[in-house]
């Protein structure tokens, strides 16, 4: 299994995420390109904050 898919599944099954977050994750199920775009690397922090789509 690709690392980003493993991370995606961990987020999807995490009991601490709210239902809104899980709905968004379920909405991209089956879209490997979108999952990869969101989970292939950690977000980088810069002087202006986060850069990228969260979850």
pTM of the model: 0.73
| Residue keyed to tokens 């969260």 | 54
φ, ψ dihedrals at 5, nearest 5°: -70, -40
Degrees, nearest 5: CA angle 15-2-53: 60
Whether the CA torsion 37, 43, 49, 54 is positive or negative: it is: positive
CA separation for the pair 26, 3 (Å, rounded): 18
pLDDT tens-place values along the chain, 55 residues long: 689 999 999 999 999 999 999 999 999 999 999 999 999 988 776 666 666 677 6
What are 44's strand-pairing partners? 51
pLDDT at 16: 95
């Amino acid at each position: 299994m690709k690392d980003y898919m493993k991370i995606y599944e961990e987020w999807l099954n995490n009991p601490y995420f709210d239902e809104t977050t899980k709905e968004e994750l379920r909405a991209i199920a089956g879209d490997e390109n979108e999952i990869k775009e969101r989970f292939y690397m950690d977000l980088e922090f810069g002087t202006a904050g986060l850069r990228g789509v969260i979850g």
